[in-house]
Structure 1
């Protein structure tokens, strides 16, 4: 016997991701019960997520949960959930900066934040990382505007630009920028940078895996030997970063780094989520790489120096990263010229409201807890 349930829902595109936006008050307090609802409304356990609204891809199997915040410096709380497509598993560990692009508009649309003239600043407290982000949302006439002339790689057309400024990004999960205590580690004969800025990542020079770094996501996904080795390195990196057994977690995220293809870019990247190559790059992953560029000795720093993008002991405040769909530009603000002390990292994203209404999902009358593998936030 199954029971049909329903909750209010707004489906939004945030950056290069898409998914349902829900109110925290409409979901159960228990993380296991919350995960079960998300799995069912997304249709997980089937490659097409045919019985739900997921798009059969990690970029469209994401959920944003938003509520008024009790944090003294925030307007709303934002809990991100990565819902596995094929497996009955929800990961509440990572943040998603692309979905975050739509949190400000959603908060205004649902009355959680009062719109101001021209621009409304929405202060977001991310519950996954316990960090703050400022979202500057265009609100001419005190209405959210989705129309504009801003383009971002990986999304067709133009839309209104939303500025995201990530504050206090260092050590979101590990408490340190370089959680292993050094700029590079050698794992399975490969030089790796383990870094935690906005999200934990492990960076590898693509050439060290016999790659150019400019392969398409489909080419990389069709390279099982490389993917298997990358996963073994990722699991060892997770242990060295103090994250424990990461075999059931999406963190740390692997990033392949290589020299840029032109004079205007800083680096070329291929980002994994973590077992498939991202068709663009995650915002938090881009922040981590942009931060690493100025940290002496990291894989990203060495490649950037060799490519003539900065002096050996220099810092870069504007970073342009190539990814499979184009480019992403970030502004990195260092405190007092210190490469490992980051005040904020800012970038421009876009968002769009797709639908607003009621979403229906089914739950078994006695849900099995064995079906759930959720990570604590």
Structure 2
């Protein structure tokens, strides 16, 4: 057993354990060692993660290793880990926007970046995907915030307002659409499903809800009934997008997969009625092997990017209220997203606003398998 220092933070609708690289690097020699340390710390292998700090769900079983960056123009690099709940495995192929907002505030609070007199901008690089993000935090008079009154759909908890911008998302149509098609048609058991496959924020496969007999605004328990089809569609999308080879193990992290439909009246999981006129596109996403309670920020970026693809399933179903934005109707409520295009009309950046709070700083007592302990002690 060894002691690992960490910081527990909520970013939007996710909770994430953040580890400074200087604290965790001495304990790992390779990715296998890091997998073992994180799954032990989180208590994975148990659906309740009872013997660790995981929360028993995909949105509360996340970690990131943060370090000062040696890259000019970048303040911090971070490696994101989606720690499995029931299995002792870690997915390394994706990013998490909610955790990225938490990392932005963490970098300011931990002194990893100099604090500005009005606003502090933290430039971050996600090591998993190479994505560049910028978090902006108000620091009036050079004061570092510890609490705030910002709110987001999916939780009543308040936090420090943090703006998160994903930049340089699609230099051209080829980089945005890995298959080159606005609509990919995937056949399963004699039925065709239409989807737009994009790389922006995170690789995502967004399917027309009507092909599954859905409208796109259903409660998550209804979406859950279609889980086997969506998992099969994700596998086929991964093959088409070059994210996996036919003989490789199936990953449940990427691409992100979900359904989209036109705006309709619906009721959120909190019992709030949402009028169809108050948003632009219905979206329901999976997270790992279950319906997402809201939407991951990287998935929201993918939806915003797909909305710029003429003829794609998102653009076809969306009813855009005004240029430069899209309002996404999720199971938890409506998420506002700002979209910026460059002079050529290509997607340049997507900005979302979240609420962040530091919950705890702690010393975790981690009991790892004996082969890893031997490595730690060497």
Fold match (TM-score > 0.5): yes
1:157, CA displacement in angstroms? 3.5
Q: How many residues align?
A: 352
Instruction: Find the counterpart in structure 2 of residue 375 from structure 1.
Output: none
73-82 or 144-153: bigger deviation: 144-153
Q: Is the 8 A contact 1:197 1:287 kept in 2?
A: yes
Q: Is the 8 A contact 2:36 2:369 kept in 1?
A: no
CA distance in 2, matches of 1:66, 1:124: 10
The change in CA–CA distance for 1:72 and 1:209 in structure 2 (over 3 A counts) is same
Instruction: Find the counterpart in structure 2 of residue 105 from structure 1.
Output: 105
1:193, CA displacement in angstroms? 1.1
Q: Are residues 1:292 and 2:306 paired?
A: yes
Question: Runs of 5+ in structure 2 lacking a partner?
Answer: 265-275, 374-378
Match of 2:217 among 211, 214, 237: 214
CA distance in 1, matches of 2:86, 2:143: 39
Match of 2:358 among 350, 353, 356: 353
1:48, CA displacement in angstroms? 0.3
Instruction: Find the counterpart in structure 1 of residue 280 from structure 2.
Output: 266
TM-score (norm 2): 0.89
TM-score (norm 1): 0.89
CA distance in 2, matches of 1:276, 1:242: 24
What are the equivalent positions in structure 2 for 1:166-245 lying under 5 Å apart?
A: 166-170=166-170, 176-188=175-187, 189-221=192-224, 223=225, 226-245=226-245
CA distance in 1, matches of 2:252, 2:331: 24
- For 1:34-82, what per-residue CA distance to the aligned partner results, in whole angstroms no more than 9, with x for missing partners? 1110000000000000000100000000002100001111011111100
Instruction: Find the counterpart in structure 2 of residue 374 from structure 1.
Output: none
Match of 1:256 among 254, 259, 266: 259
Corresponding residue SS for 2:56:
coil
Instruction: Find the counterpart in structure 2 of residue 372 from structure 1.
Output: none
Q: Are residues 1:117 and 2:102 paired?
A: no
Q: Is the 8 A contact 1:150 1:159 kept in 2?
A: yes
CA distance in 1, matches of 2:229, 2:252: 17
CA distance in 2, matches of 1:15, 1:22: 19
- For 1:212-253, what per-residue CA distance to the aligned partner results, in whole angstroms no more than 9, with x for missing partners? 2222223322x1xx2111111111111111112461341111
Q: CA RMSD in A?
A: 2.0
CA distance in 1, matches of 2:323, 2:21: 39
- For 1:118-144, what per-residue CA distance to the aligned partner results, in whole angstroms no more than 9, with x for missing partners? 321111111111121111112234333
Match of 1:328 among 296, 315, 335: 335
Question: Runs of 5+ in structure 1 lacking a partner?
Answer: 369-377
CA distance in 1, matches of 2:170, 2:310: 16
CA distance in 2, matches of 1:146, 1:268: 34
- For 1:7-44, what per-residue CA distance to the aligned partner results, in whole angstroms no more than 9, with x for missing partners? 21110001110021101222224111111100000000
Corresponding residue SS for 2:155:
coil
Q: Is the 8 A contact 2:136 2:163 kept in 1?
A: yes
Q: Is the 8 A contact 2:19 2:65 kept in 1?
A: yes
What are the equivalent positions in structure 2 for 1:3-22 lying under 5 Å apart?
A: 4-22=1-19
Corresponding residue SS for 2:291:
coil
Instruction: Find the counterpart in structure 2 of residue 373 from structure 1.
Output: none
Corresponding residue SS for 1:40:
helix
- For 1:102-124, what per-residue CA distance to the aligned partner results, in whole angstroms no more than 9, with x for missing partners? 11111122221122223211111
The change in CA–CA distance for 1:272 and 1:40 in structure 2 (over 3 A counts) is same
Q: Are residues 1:143 and 2:140 paired?
A: no
Q: Are residues 1:343 and 2:348 paired?
A: yes
211-220 or 185-194: bigger deviation: 211-220
Q: Is the 8 A contact 1:12 1:21 kept in 2?
A: yes
1:337, CA displacement in angstroms? 4.8
Q: Is the 8 A contact 1:170 1:198 kept in 2?
A: no
1:254, CA displacement in angstroms? 0.8
1:367, CA displacement in angstroms? 4.6
